[in-house]
Structure 1
Amino acid sequence: MFRYTLVVAAILLVNVLEWSHGVALDGTCTTAQNCTGTTPNSDCTGADGSKTCKCITGYTKQGTACKANLGTTCSNITDCDTITNPKSECTGSGTKSCTCATGYTQQETLCKADLGIVCTASTDCDTVTTTDAVCDLNADSKICAVGVDGDCSGSKSTKCPTSSTCVSNKCACSTGYTATTTKLCSKSGAEGLVNTMSMLVLLTSGIMVKIF
């Protein structure tokens, strides 16, 4: 009995030492306990002799922590990877998971903006639901819109970019405007050239003022 007690005590002592020997992400480890004691949702992986602590599948390293990817379970917003996906949030009833916030749609591993949602470039927009989606950089408030010659049928009839309208279910540039390679509309002819030259003059004037 005494010998059995010593064996149990030894096992417990080993476990305590394993847990207390916390290893940070990317640090060398020997067992999973080395990692999880310091960073939840991590594991000790790699070839024997060169194992390191890494985030398990469904989690991404952010700083010193493993944060949940889209579709991974969570308990609150701080569990989600909001650096890769700033629009990710922890939602659901019962078992919660990290999902894209309202106005955004999951496109592979990222949250992309729906039509009418603020953007800075066309790569911000959801091109799965709306294949021809672009960021309307000509709008006062830049938002995702249906690009020129894109399908604007149904509820998308008011989603064409600045200086265009929905004609026969296709976004078409208004009179005096032509389509650009980025599926937006720009002033055509002499008026467009004058506007471009005026902008260049203003920029040149600003540069000269800074020089002198």
Structure 2
Amino acid sequence: MKLEQTFTGLELEAGVDEAGRGCLAGPVVAAAVILPLDYTLSGLDDSKKLTEKKRYELRKEILAHAEYWCVGMSSAQRIDQVNILNATYDAMHEALAGLGAKPNHVLIDGNRFRPWEDVPYDCMIKGDGRFLNIAAASILAKTYRDEIMEMLDQEFPQYGWKGNKGYPTKAHKEAIRDHGPSPYHRMSFNWQIPPTLF
């Protein structure tokens, strides 16, 4: 399915998406992207549908051709302080504030958003598979968060973050059981750590 360029047809419409809401460790990362109105990019789609290699190839093109883009994030500590939903809004607002130009409309992937300044917005369920600007934001949020987790993996290799990126895999939960949580784990999350087998 061909993705639509914008929802409103207006210049300076920002697409916004996040990555890492369901993780046990690391930040939640959001990206905001404003693309040229006539922009097209073959293969651009929801980041979850793409291979890692394809995501990085598309990121290079997005960064080269986007009118404006910015990435924001909320740490695990911030998530614990204000909960994951509010921390996600904080990251989205940070990304929007850093764009370099104030958007005249914001298009959010999902069904909830905390209004930012006085800018009108619309929420789009599965918007990352419907609109180019949200798809571009999904790729930036995903790839930048993956890089953060790969860097943190060098400090704490026992949790396997290079592979699981902080998501609740069985091996990740077993590593928390065996080694205890790291400073980057979200202490407010329910880890459901499996019992020891011996």
TM-score with structure 2 setting the length = 0.22
Larger Cα-atom Rg: 1
Q: Which has the higher contact order (CA 8 A, sep 6+)?
A: 2
Structure number with the higher helix fraction is 2
